[in-house]
Each structure stands twice: as structure tokens, then as C-alpha cells.
Chains A and B, each alone.
Chain A
């Protein structure tokens, strides 16, 4: 019965300085739905890119056997020829083309170079029927919902005579109804003999569809759990995902926590484009003077969306809820309002949202509070340089001078410039979104020390992080988010990786 369709052996993939995958093994049987589970950044997507030929066969080590034949793909089209199709989290559809055109994009049904529209639309309609989508094939993609677009992607995969369908977080962008429909379709296709690999960390989904679960952690395959052996339970999966060691060092601190500084109540945010999705549901949380509060959540939990919508409505639409500072309600409808009320938000994406990469260090540091350096609209450049030099020293920014261009600094030093910028705006509350992402270990410790110091100075700090050990190492209290809901509030004394992951994967009633 259990006939292997795919065997991946000893897959090791390195990027400059990082081992993304290390000796990974994956066995998938014909006709099963195989889930891959792991924390953010564990290496799930990398593994699928290796499998589908996004990374050419000579850029990684290890062997792939598909239907008992070795695979050496150089491009995606090589893997598609063998019947392996990957559907990425970000859908690859052209919004202005019709459903049928999208399905046959790159594989046009043509005669002598001219598209056969009759055949294209007819065949597309047949495929749409197979995925249970009742739309006219000539409808432009932009006029159908994201959930239906996902189905079009699957129809496109079917048009390529797919044997192994890989779905990377297929329900991340879908509402509940669409998610259910999609999962049903996966089971339906399974009945027709299509094997699927589904990357997901939504445990209810996995329980619903998966015959087997492989857990990836820190680039290694930990174990494969099988349904027929009764191994797929929430406890087993969570234990596999978080069994990470707490080796990194964190600075010692004795928190002295004072009065409440910021309180957010009943915060609800809708997705900016897809109005059927609510990204944050009635979230309430608070942070006190001198306290470091963590926000834990998996991909799509709504952490960044929550933070950015509070910080000047820079994310989402139809934002509702109340923000209180020192017990008084405040408005944070624009970024400058938020800054004036002493809130700072250091983004998770410093290159696109945090820094002006073509400018130097001092001008980046002064950017959010230029008025503090100016008299009647004219900037005192000497004062600016003095300030920048002060931060260069206190934050240990490694650069020849404050006139160095930020685009040329390392990730850790760029992050220190971002932090300096916000510290100079003299906030009472700092929201730090993934403050150590893409930073080497040494610089991470420095960032932790800075966070500890900010708290010691009486600032209220909110840290958003995907690394649970990091949150356990620096926070006093941790909120967990799951699918836009605050599912838990755990004091540090009671928090463990397992207990947090429990809340992070908790489904709503």
C-alpha cells in the first residue's frame, strides 16, 4: 500500500554564512497528503524550493528520487515536466489576464504560434469544474477573490498533469470558508490520485487532511509522524517544533516595572484589500513602564499588522478600537500623532521601511525628530553630527564615521541606526518588530542589551519576534497571537516554549 513517490535524502543547502538545510530526509508516499511543519524560518520553504528546482541541482547536496528515478532539476520547468508543481504563498497570477489565460500562461494552447482561444477556454472550463470553481474562464483574475484565485492556481497545476502538488501555506491568505473549501479540494484530488505536500502550521488543518507530518526545525528534519500509527497529535507536533535549545546568551536584568503606559483595547483591523478578512480581532494588551512585553505568533498571526495599525494606521482599513496612554485615550491616526504621543515603531523590514539606504548615518538618525535639531525650520548640522556621534558610541555602531552611507553597513549596524533613530525621538513606548532578524549572533546580544537598557531607563518596550527562545530570554510578559486573536498572556515565570506554542497554534472556538 505504501508506495514511495518521493524520497529526499541528505539534503544540505547553504547560503553565505548560513546552513539553511542540514541533512534533511523526506519520504512521501503515493496518494497521501503530507504536511510539513515548523517554526518561521525553520527551512520549510527552502526545502520545497530545492525540490521544485527553484534552486538548481548543483547548488545543494543530497539526492532526490521521484518515482524511483533521480532528479536533477535546473529550473522549475524541469520539475514541472516530471509532474511536480509548486504553488507559492504569494500567488503568481497576472491580475489583468483572464482565468483561462492564467491557467495556460507559459503553456499556451496554440497552433503555429497563434493562440487557440476556443480550445483554451473550453479546456479551462473543464479544469475549473474539477476544482469546483463556477466562474467564466474569460473573467479577469482581479475580479475574483483570493480564495478563488488559489483554486485557479490549482487548476493551472492540474493542466500540467500534476502528480505531486506542493502548496506553501495555502490558507495563509484565505478566510475560513475558503480555507475549508481548499482543504476539501485537496482531499478530493487525493481521491483522484494526486499526492500533495502542504506546508502549514495550522494544526486543525493538519489534523483534517494530513496522512503524515514531517517536522523541520532549524534546517533539520526532526521526525515524520504517521496517521495510521496514531502519531499525529497536537502535543507531538508542538514538541517537535519547539525542542530548541536555549543556548544564546541574554543580558541579566532585574526589571523594575511601574505604572501602565500604553493600553490597546478591542483593536480590530481588516485586510487593506480583501474586505472579507479580519486580520486582527478584538485584540487587547497593555505594557508598563520599564517592562519588556513580547508578542509571539506564527506567520499570519497578525503581529506586525497589529503594531502598524496602531502606529499611525500604516496598515489595514476599518481600524477600530481604543488606545490609552497613562489611562487617557489618545489618537494615533497618523504617524506624526503616534510619534507625538511618544510611540515608536521599528519595522521588521529595515531596508524597505526603516532606512534611507542612500543617505548617511546621521541623516537617518535625525529623520524622525529633525525638529529637535532645528530652529525656525533650519537644521543645526553641528548639533546633528554631535547627536549622531553620541549614538554611534553608545550603540556601538561600527562605521568609519557618521557620514557613512547606511546601505553599506551590516544588518546589525543598520538595525542599531534604526534603533538610534527611534531613541532620538525620545519615545515612552518602543515597538520593536523582529529586532534581530538577519543579524549575526554577536550583534544580537548587543541588541538584547540595548533593549534591557531601554527598559531600565523606564521605557515600555514591546518586542515582536518569531524566535521563542529570544522572547523567553528578554521579556517580562508574553502575549500570544493566533489568527488575529490574542490567545494568551503568559508571565515569564510560567512561560515555556511548549506552553507558548500551544497558545500560538490554538484555534478559536
Chain B
């Protein structure tokens, strides 16, 4: 009984992380049924990955900016601007891709430095600076492109958007073996890492995760990885952009968890005054965060341009909203200090599956936007609701730990029911929308 209570108590404390994962699964299952199985067909899974890659790249930088307590509304325009710059460099000036890509990332860094300067050193709120940036860089995009798209791009650059790793079996096998090797190897590495970390936590007596939960969670992630591997391998193999994304996720997760820079970012978002009084150079950290955001926005712009094989005046429009939504659905806190790269990726996938699933169903952007908006509102509303409940509805921290002593039993029974609103309203909206036509 006490063991059960303990593990239920643990799940309650991790309600948000569990909830977001369950929500993703429910949404996938829902669309799998609604689309008669099209959603999880190998070709569509590959599309899903490639289509969402640039939003996910942006979401990495965005969640970092949000953790520090800022926001960036300009990333869509920056992505569009860099797309235009790459068009001029590669198509008009004939630069080789291996010069043009670093050059574009450098331009992105300069753009980020421009915004970071105003935010960190002048002290203008990020909301204002990046709102201005949204207009400035959209304007520069139009000027650079002279209002016309630039196309076509050479195959080397297009590979960044739509290319795949080479098929080592020469197309003879049903499964693409390089993908299988990468997928199985990656899964093994994740399992190994998870077990190692658990061992370290246990050694230092920090372990509070019940064994059963750890096994289920890790097993599930492994299963998920393997099934994606299988689906990708039975189509055309591993998209190059997926490799790029995987490297970014690994590097940035490590950066946020283990580097001084990452830890200072959390400290600034958690309590700016305490961070300052602890000698953290808050302005320098903020400045670097925006430089980093600029580089990632540039990369997203390149991937997007490569995928469309054209630099377009309207390229990147609305990306900022999708990436901000991804970060918040993924558990980042509006006040800063809380959030993870992995969470933002799950949040981005939820948005991606919604987009993709609704497109397959032939829903117009009108309903797509309506539903995505509701999902974002519910996800963050659920967070606030959850926090208020556990702190007794008050704002004072004193109340928060007073409530700690209330018996968990009453609260536990409520949890699973409250777990659902994230996913269900999306589903119900969905059904009613389908019945209309």
C-alpha cells in the first residue's frame, strides 16, 4: 500500500512530464485511427520528421531563451532573411555550399548579436526588441529578394532539406541497413546512458524514481526509437536533417544540463536578483542566448529553403509562433527558470502531428489554427491549474509547502482524470470538425 502510494506520489510530482508524453501518444493514436493508418505509414513518418525539423531546430533555441525569462518573436523573419541571403550567395553569386552555409550561420549570429545587444545591454524588453526584429528582418528579406523568389538551388544544399543518408545495400534490401544500425545503436546508447545515470543517482542517494517507473519509461523510449527506426528504414532511410537535429538535441541538452552557461541560464530565469548577487554575469549570458538563437534561426532558414528549393519572400512566416508553442507545450514556464530541450521537442512533435494529421484529413488552415490555439491554451492552462492546486491557490511560497502536508491520497485519485484534458478537447474538436463536411 505504501509502495503504491509512493509511486502514485511520484507520478503526481512528475505529472507534467508524464502528461505531455501521454498526450503525444493519444494524439498519434487518434490521428492514426482518423486517417485510416496513413499517419504512421513509412513515407508519412519521414515527411513528418522533415517537415517539422526546422520548427524543432527553432524550438531548441526558443526554449533556452524562454528558460532565461525572455521571448523571441523574430525567429520566423530571421529564418526567412537567411533563406534570402543564402539564395543571393549561392544562386546569384555562385558561392559553394560549404562557404555559403558557414557564412549564413555567421549572418545569423550577427543578427542575434544585434538583438542581444538591445536586450541585454540597453535593457529593452525582449518582447519589444524581437517584435521590432520581426518587422526589420521581414523587411530585409523582401529587400534582399526584391520581392521575387530565388530558385533553383544546387543539389548539395537541397540535401540538407530533403536528402537521405546513402543506402549502403544499394537499394536491394527491404530495410535500409544504415538506418537500422544508427537506430539500434542510438537506442542502445540511450539505454546505457539511462542506466548509468540511475546508478550515479543511487550512489549519491538522490534516487526518487521507483524502479517500475524507470523500467516502463526507458523501455517505452527504446520501443519508440526502434519503431521510428523501422518506419524510416522501410522507406528511404535516414533524412540528413534528422542527423543534424539529433546532434543538436544531444549537444544542447548537455549544454543546458551540464555546462556553466546552461546552469547560469536556469539561474537567471529562476531568480534574476539572486543570480546577479551570486556574481553571474547576467547580461553576457542573455547576449549569448540571443546570438545562439540567431545561429539556430539561420540553420532553420537554410533547412527550410533547402527543402522548398527556393528562397521566398514569405519564407518562415509564423515559425516563431510554432516554436514558442512547442516550448510552452513542452513544459517551459512563462516566468522562466523551467523547461527542457527534450520537452520542447515533444511539444514540437505534438504540434507537428496535429499539423500533419489535420492536413491529411483535408482540414483547412482555419480549423488547424483554431485547434492548435486551443491545445496551446489548454497545455499552459493545465500547468497553471496544476501549480495553483499544489500551492493551494495562493501566490505565496509559504502556502506551497504548507500544502505539502495534505494527505496525497485525495489528490491522487484526481490526477488521472485531470491528466486528460490536454488531449481530449483536441480530439473532440477534431471529431466535430470532421463531421461537418
Interface residues of A (CB under 8 A from B): 311-312, 314, 334-336, 338-339, 345, 347, 351-359, 363, 366-368, 370-371, 374, 377-379, 381-382, 385-386, 389, 400-403, 407-410, 421, 425
The docked-state distance in angstroms from the alpha carbon of A8 to that of B400 is 36
With A359-B266, A377-B261 as given contacts, are A335 and B274 in contact (CB-CB < 8 Å)? no
Nearest CB in chain A: distance from B261 CB, A: 7
Chain B: how many interface residues by the 8 Å CB criterion? 30
Partner of B204, one of A311, A336, A382: A382
CB neighbours of B275 from chain A (8 A)? 356, 367
A353–B273 CB distance below 8 A: yes
Select the residue from A314, A334, A358, A400 with max chain B CB neighbours within 10 A: A358
For A382, list chain B residues within 8 Å (CB). 200, 204
Q: Which residues of B contact A338 (CB under 8 A)?
A: 279
Beyond A381-B258, A408-B401, A408-B404, whether A358 also contacts B277 by CB under 8 A is: no
Residues B400 and A407 in contact, CB atoms below 8 Å apart: yes
Bits for B265-295, please: 1 = Cβ < 8 Å to A, else 0: 0110011011111111100000000000000
What 18 new A-B contacts, CB under 8 Å, besides A377-B261, A403-B208? A312-B279, A335-B278, A339-B279, A347-B277, A354-B274, A356-B270, A359-B267, A366-B263, A368-B278, A370-B260, A370-B263, A370-B264, A374-B260, A379-B258, A379-B263, A385-B204, A385-B206, A402-B204
Which residues of chain B are near A345, meaning CB under 8 Å?
A: 277
B8 CB → nearest A CB, Å: 18
Chain B residues with Cβ below 8 Å from A359 are 266-267, 270, 337
19 contacts between A and B (CB under 8 A): A335-B277, A345-B277, A352-B271, A353-B271, A353-B274, A353-B277, A356-B274, A356-B275, A358-B270, A359-B267, A359-B337, A368-B278, A370-B263, A374-B259, A379-B263, A382-B200, A385-B206, A401-B205, A402-B206
Q: How far is the CA of A158 from the CA of B400 in the complex (A)?
A: 42
Alpha-carbon separation in the docked complex, A378 to B400 (Å): 33
Q: Is B103 an interface residue (CB 8 A)?
A: no
The answer to whether residues A356 and B271 also contact, given A379-B260, A408-B404 and a CB cut-off of 8 A, is: yes
Task: Choose among B258, B260, B277, B397 the residue that contacts A357 (Cβ–Cβ < 8 A).
Answer: B397
Within 8 A of A (CB), among B207-265: 208, 258-261, 263-264
Known: A367-B267, A370-B260. A355 touches B274 (CB 8 A): yes
Nearest chain A CB to B235's CB is how many angstroms away? Answer: 38
**Quick check: B276 and A335 within 8 Å, CB to CB?**
yes
Q: How far, in Å, is B345 (CB) from chain A's closest CB?
A: 22
A425 surroundings in chain B (CB, below 8 A): 279
Q: What's the minimum C-beta distance from B2 to chain A, rounded to whole angstroms? A: 16
Query: How far apart are the CA atoms of A351 and B276 in the complex, in Å?
Result: 14
B263 CB, min distance to chain A CBs, angstroms: 6
Question: Which single residue of chain A is at the shortest CB-CB distance from B280?
Answer: A367
How far is the CB of B42 from the nearest CB of chain A, in Å?
39
- Residues of the A chain whose Cβ atoms lie less than 8 Å from the Cβ of B400: 407-408
Interface centre among B264, B275, B278, B338 (most CB of A within 10 A): B278
Q: Is the CB of B264 within 8 A of A351?
A: no
Q: Check A356–B404 contact: CB distance below 8 A.
A: no
Question: Judging by beta carbons under 8 Å apart, are B206 and A367 in contact?
Answer: no
- Specify which of B206, B277, B404 is in contact with A314 (CB 8 Å cutoff): B277
Q: Closest A-chain residue to B336, C-beta based?
A: A358
Name the residue on B nearest A346 (C-beta): B277
Give the docked Cα–Cα distance between A326 and B273 (Å).
30
The secondary-structure label for the interface of chain B is helix
Contact of B204 with A357 in the complex, beta carbons under 8 Å = no
Bound CA–CA A368/B400 (angstroms): 26
Supposing A355-B271, A356-B267 touch, asked if A401 and B206 sit within 8 A by C-beta, the answer is: yes
Contact A378 B259 (CB under 8 A): yes
Q: Verify B267–A386 contact, CB threshold 8 A.
A: no
Tell me how far the C-beta of B333 lies from the nearest C-beta in chain A, rounded to whole angstroms. Answer: 8
Expressed in whole angstroms, the Cα–Cα distance for A374 and B275 within the complex equals 18
Task: Report how far A160 CA is from B206 CA in the complex, Å.
Answer: 60
Q: List CB contacts (< 8 Å) of B151-205 with chain A.
A: 200, 204-205
Q: Whole-angstrom distance between the alpha carbons of A345 and B275 in the complex?
A: 13
Q: Which residues of B have CB within 8 Å of A312?
A: 277, 279
Please give the distance in Å from A382's CB to the nearest CB on chain B: 6
Residue of B nearest to A349 (CB): B273
C-alpha spacing A409/B280, complex, angstroms:
24
A336 near B279 with CB under 8 A, answer yes
Q: Hey, which chain A residues are within 8 Å of B279, CB to CB?
A: 312, 334-336, 338-339, 368, 425
Bound form: Cα–Cα A378–B205 in Å: 23
- Would you give the shortest CB distance from A417 to chain B, in whole angstroms? 11
Please name the residue on chain B nearest to A386 by beta carbon.
B204
Which residue of A has the minimal Cβ distance to B337?
A358
Decide if A354 touches B270 in the complex (CB within 8 Å): no
Residues of A within 8 A of B280 (CB): 367
| B278 interface neighbour in A351, A357, A367, A389, Cβ under 8 Å | A367
Chain B residues within 8 Å of A366, by CB: 263
Across the interface, name the chain A residue whose C-beta is closest to B266: A359
**Contact (Cβ within 8 A) A356 B259:** no
CB distance from A471 to the nearest CB of B (A): 24
Whole-angstrom distance between the alpha carbons of A407 and B395 in the complex? 13
For B271, the chain A residues whose CB sits under 8 A away are: 352-353, 355-357
- Chain A residue contacts of B258, Cβ below 8 A: 378-379, 381
Q: How far is the CA of A382 from the CA of B258 in the complex (A)?
A: 11
Q: Which of B390-428 contact A (CB under 8 A)?
A: 397, 400-401, 404
Min distance, Cβ A443 to any Cβ of chain B, angstroms: 15
A336→B263 CA distance, assembly (Å): 17
Question: Which residues of B (99-141) have their CB < 8 Å from a CB of A?
Answer: none
Q: Closest CB-CB distance, A359 to chain B, in whole Å?
A: 5
Closest CB in chain A relative to B205 CB, distance in Å: 6
Q: Please give me the 4 A-B residue pairs with the lowest Cβ-Cβ distance, nearest first.
A: A356-B270, A368-B278, A336-B279, A339-B279
B206-A403 in contact (CB<8A): yes
Task: Specify which chain B residues have a CB less than 8 angstroms from the CB of A374 in the assembled complex.
Answer: 259-260
CA A21 – CA B184 in complex, angstroms?
70
Contacts of A347 in B (CB 8 A): 277
Contact A377 to B260, CB < 8 A, known contacts A347-B277, A352-B271, A355-B274: yes
Query: In the complex, A374→B337 CA distance in Å?
Result: 21
Alpha-carbon gap, A356 to B270, bound state (A)? 5
Nearest CB of B to A307, in Å: 11
C-alpha gap A74/B204 in the complex (Å): 53
- Chain A, residue nearest B264 (CB): A370
